[in-house]
Amino acid sequence: MTLSTYPDAVIPDLSVYDFLFGSLDADDRDRIALVDGTTGTETSYGELVARVNAFAGSLAQRGVKPGDVLGLLCPNSPAFAIAFHGILRAGATVTPINSLYTPEEIASQLTDASARWLLTVSPLLPAAHAAATATGITDDHLVVLDGAPGHPSLTDLLADQATPPVVTIDPATAIAVLPYSSGTTGRPKGVMLSHRNLVANVVQCNASIGLTGHDTVLAVLPFFHIYGLTVLLNFAIKQRARLVTMPRFDLPEFLRLAQDYRCTWLFIAPPIAVALAKHPLVDQFDLSGVKVTFSGAAPLDGALAKAVEARIGCLVRQGYGMTELSPVSHAIPVDRDDIAPSSIGLAVPSVECRLIDTESGEDIVPPEEGPSRPGELLCRGPNVMVGYLGNPEATAATLDADGWLHTGDVATVDASGVYRIVDRLKELIKYKGYQVAPAVLEAVLLGHPLIADAAVIGFHDVDGQEVPKAFVVLQPQAMLGEDDIIAYVAEHVARHEKVRAVEFIDGVPKSTSGKILRKDLRARETQSGAAPVPESVPSAATPRA
């Protein structure tokens, strides 16, 4: 076992609202908290906290109480921040929903989370309304933040001018947010993150991510993803930074906002790093204000990190985590140029780590010099989830009785405490920072009457990014092509979950117990060296909403 090289973090026993806004002083109130990148509209910290309080009061007046779950289907905007923190201020729980989800996927999450409210925006209303109808959510409980006939809006709720309720919660047990994750394998599960989990991770981030109130952050990574929610939204608010929101990734707009607002921090996923390193459009913009580009959500290649540093003239750092860790457990500090950018850096404060042998389960002792042998990474700390909602079996498989979270990732550690991810035990595919569960895609494929069997793995495209590939066994005499299968899957899943390549095979390799032998399929890829045709740059980063 290794401890973080930092001193233990002091975690306040506060709700997320009290932690983020309780210390707001007169000077803070005049600072700009949020800039809507689409319209240029600015919201000060004083205006933000007033709207959060009013939103919470209106929800309580309309019957929302502690323990209730509200779905939030909304791209990045100031309205997301008001709604999210207003719900928490009312003592309720937010289940953030991927803006790319189909009505069926939205309904599935709402049902599993037992959500009786859904908050969205008008561009997503058709899907939201279909999901609400399917789950029994009435029109008066379907809030359209930017307004739509027959539904309450953000303006309506703020106009109530209701006093926020007096709420008493236990930060350690009250669930603040319920994001959905596939964990180490399987279908998405509700990850119960308490107020203490979220507060702890903001405190932990401060050791490595040197963001201050003088910084401007470009918020393109979605707030519905725990990376965007904790590291961009909550951490930036706590530091009193200025946050410029983008509802979806568009490279020219990303570069324009970074230039015009003199953004000092860019939080990205690796596909955006590809664009920053390679796309000719970058040279048309002045990015001299950028001090740090911080990558997460998927592994960042060291050579790519160096290419971004050389082109932009900024520091490039990488972090590691997972939804179940709120999400950050490791990061490369901004002041540590000696740590390889391809590593995940040091454990954040108050995080304990272990590496265990993947066969025997025995602990791997950190070496006195050089890297250790690989082992599965286990983490324990105040940012570790409470568990999976209504799924004690999955919880026990990931979180053991001693509080150790099994990440499913294989890592090494050196004598200085620097960790590097070298492999993955889990089946989860990380497509452009989004989680794609092979089991979900396999279920869709097997629903096609002309497909006899199927398996899905992740493999790497020409830019080294992981994409979903299907191996398909057709029924006898069936006539289906690759495009037919890609189109069929696309009709049933969100855009980021689409199959990107198909290979037809005679049989899916399986163990004697019937488990798909994905390593055998990956071996085929290694031998063939195949790679799909890359997509255009805007879609090669965070998928569009």
The kind and range of the H/E element at 131 are: helix 125-135
Per-residue confidence in pLDDT tens, the chain, 545 aa: 777 889 999 999 999 999 999 999 999 999 999 999 999 999 999 999 999 999 999 999 999 999 999 999 999 999 999 999 999 999 999 999 999 999 999 999 999 999 999 999 999 999 999 999 999 999 999 999 999 999 999 999 999 999 999 999 999 999 999 999 866 556 789 999 999 999 999 999 998 898 999 999 999 999 999 999 999 999 999 999 999 999 999 999 999 999 999 999 999 988 888 889 989 999 999 999 999 999 988 788 888 899 999 999 999 999 999 999 999 999 999 999 999 999 999 999 999 999 999 888 999 999 999 999 999 999 999 999 999 999 999 999 999 999 999 999 989 999 999 999 887 777 778 888 887 878 788 888 988 989 988 899 998 887 778 899 999 999 898 999 999 999 999 999 998 899 999 999 999 887 654 567 888 898 887 665 544 333 322 222 222 22
CATH topology for the 44-168 domain: Rossmann fold (3.40.50)
CA distance linking residue 253 with residue 245, whole number of Å? 11
The kind and range of the H/E element at 59 are: helix 45-61
Give how far Cα 533 sits from Cα of 462, 500, 536, Å.
8, 9, 10
Question: What does the CA dihedral 419, 420, 426, 430 come to, rounded to 10 degrees?
Answer: 120
Question: What does the CA dihedral 114, 120, 126, 128 come to, rounded to 10 degrees?
Answer: -10
The kind and range of the H/E element at 395 are: helix 392-398
Q: Full-prediction pTM beyond 0.75?
A: yes
pLDDT of residue 506: 93
For the domain made up of 429-540, the CATH class stated in words is alpha beta
Beta carbons of 347 and 419 less than 8 angstroms apart = yes
CA distance linking residue 145 with residue 76, whole number of Å? 12
* Strands annotated E in 303-351: 315-321, 328-331, 346-347
- Say if strands 265-268 and 292-295 run parallel, antiparallel, or are unpaired: parallel
Beta carbons of 462 and 437 less than 8 angstroms apart = no
Domain segments of the chain as ranges: 44-168, 429-540
The amino acid at residue 473 is V
pLDDT of residue 515: 65
With vertex at residue 432, the alpha carbon angle to CA 487 and CA 211, rounded to the nearest 5 degrees, is 155
Ramachandran region, residue 298 (left: φ > 0; alpha: ψ -120 to 50; beta: rest): beta
